[in-house]
Structure 1
Amino acid sequence: MSTERLYWHDAYLREWSAQIVARDQQRVALDRSAFYPEGGGQPADHGWINGVAVVDVQADDQDLVWHTLAAPIDAESVECRLDWQRRFDHMQQHHGQHLLSAAFDQLFNWRTVGFHLSGEYVTIDLATCEASPEQLAEAETLANQIIWQNLPIVVRFVSAEELASIALRKAPSVTGAIRVVSAGDFDHSACGGTHPNATGAVGQIHIRRSEKRGDSLRIEFVCGGRALQDLRWKNATLGRIAAGFSVAQQQTEQAVQRLRDQEQQVRKQFQQAELQLLEFEAKGLVEQAQPIGQLKVVAHVWQREPQIVRQLANLVAQAGGVALFGVAASKPQLIFAGQGLDCGALLRQVVAAVGGKGGGSAQQAQGGIAEVNDLAAALELALSNLQSY
């Protein structure tokens, strides 16, 4: 037994009666159904059977369509209702994909090698590695022109003899009777999905972005109601940004660029000021350093960012001192820097004694230890070992 698929002949059917012919826990199979089962890149329809929500629809190998329900039902004869908003959205996105794929194919001979329809956007993967903004715009424009012509969409099953006379965009992957979806003379595709009656129902196609994916190019786009929502929030966001800059929307990009230039200038000034403060701090540390022989040693455990401590250690070394620094962080570190000693050898001696690892050159060395509480002991050991220098 198989399920009669009502959507094949009427994609606008919203309500119908059916008989339950099989059960499996909270799944039921119907003798006739307009619910589209997930497949071909298109998600399953949702809706209600006897008022109980249909949350998933799948077809098995015997061509029986199973409907997963939110709760069990006992009836044999049932009344079904489609979630029309979801269905129409899927029809807009799916047929928009047909048109956009055909546009890329006809304009640039870029075949579609992948298709996915999610709850937020649609993607196709094209058999090319790159496309210019002008090429994307050209394909988008052509697909929208076909939408605005409101060409009739004809869906029918054809025999092998009839199929031979149709210029399919892609050879079918199934055998037997083939279901062909035609958008006027613009595109002919073998497809088992749901489609509107005319291209105008797609509304519009809006390409959002492209991304290289291995040997292919992924195009992300939205159609119809999704395109309206996408453009609506973008326009609202652009309007708020423009108002914040007190400029027209067309001048927003230049205003943002000016802000970025100012931010980079301020960042450079801040970095210069930060460096000057660190240099001043380093000189002060060296002046107050603990003398060990000829060495002016600064030993301290810091609760600062490791890169700042590393920079400060180098500045202490440049000021003529020796920095023996610990960094109290989630991963405790030791940073040694200075002249007149072998920092790398000293650090290896210390980390070996406290259960860590690290190394470096004679002028600078860095390593890690397991416990923050061992940092003070590690520095004490380093100071003790320095007595030999």
Structure 2
Amino acid sequence: MQPRHTQAPSVRASRLALTLIAAASVAPAAWATNGYFPHGFGLKAKGMGGASIALAQDGFAGVNNPAAAMFAGSRLEIGGEIFRPYRDAQFVGQTPVVESGRTAFLIPELGYSAKLSERMAVGLTVYGNGGMNTSYAPFPNGVNLLGGQGKLGVDLMQLIVAPTVAWQVADGHALGVSPLLVWQRFEAYGLQAFGMMSSDPANLTNRGKDNSTGIGVRVGYFGKLGDRVTVGASYSPKIRMSRFDKYRGLFAGSGDFDIPANYGVGVALQATPTLTLALDATRIRYGGVPSIANPSLQQVMAGQPLGGAQGPGFGWRDISVVKLGVQWQMNERWTLRAGYNEGQNPIRPDDAMFNILAPGVIRKHVTFGATYAPDARTEWTFALWHGKRENVVGPSVDFSSMQMNPTGTRIGMHQNGFGVQFSRKF
């Protein structure tokens, strides 16, 4: 009888990684929690309110803290989540409430890490951002909520592949770096009424999907302060992306849409042998990207055209987010988690009208999670979360007469999510 040939774990992991990257490249993105960033990355973090910077318990170091790969061990995480955002908008006293038709999305995820020696580890994380993803049906006469024809909406997806290297520079202390290979896709439709305000009306709306690429970096530090306390820090500067040429009449800077700088610090406490507390404080600098941050109605009233260097954006501001998580190892097979995530709303009332397209207004999340370990090498992780409904009310403008109604626009959103993740240690 011939012996059975089996693939090495690293070969199997590589093939699975390629499969997940391919799946992620065609999956729609619909996150809209801390602005358009997810409240956390990896299902263990998502079950703990997103807290992750000072924890090393999965293969998502490339997005949470590259230095954590040094202490995560050799492991592979493959999972997916069902994300259900509910968005709606109306012009108060003028139109009925219109709900976005996209309310269910399947989102894959991948994390991998391998310890090469006592001083070095490597990893790979595949993750995404998104959230400017809406689709509002037109009224019976074919006109949509913003005065254009047919369906109204946008679809933004950002896919990031993050290879990671971490070094233990002293016992219990590591530095890490993750180059970020970024691809993003965008589409807008139903914005014909904005043609008179665009620097390039032919490249404003209904141009199909357009792609953009860029390269960035994330760096991190992870440290063990004794047996009970770990700390971490992570930073990614703004990623400059190539232009969306098909939408250079929409985004400020002739189609520029960069990824904002983001950073955070975290601390984790092993309060008892079975109880861990974790706290992260993070900052997302939406204000550094003109196409996201430029005021909307203010720039319109000042005569600045869409697509121009000072053209209207979405008016998003920088936000701070606090993530608090607790983890209890109930027994050798089950670990339970809970968390709370609270951030600022990036959207000011004055910019509510333009943000009908991207109502990322949620500030508070409650999360729960669990891991079941049937044996020493296998884990199944589950997480669920709820984003509390928020509304923003602000002015609207009749562009034909340039008359303003100070309380004319209302946008709102809440959301739910559930995910399952398989992990294998090797």
Q: Place the TM-score, normalised by the shorter chain, in its bin.
A: under 0.3
Determine which structure has greater relative contact order: mean sequence separation of CA pairs < 8 Å that are 6+ residues apart, divided by chain length. 2
Question: Max radius of gyration: which structure?
Answer: 1
Superposition TM-score, scaled by structure 2 size:
0.20
Structure number with higher helix proportion: 1
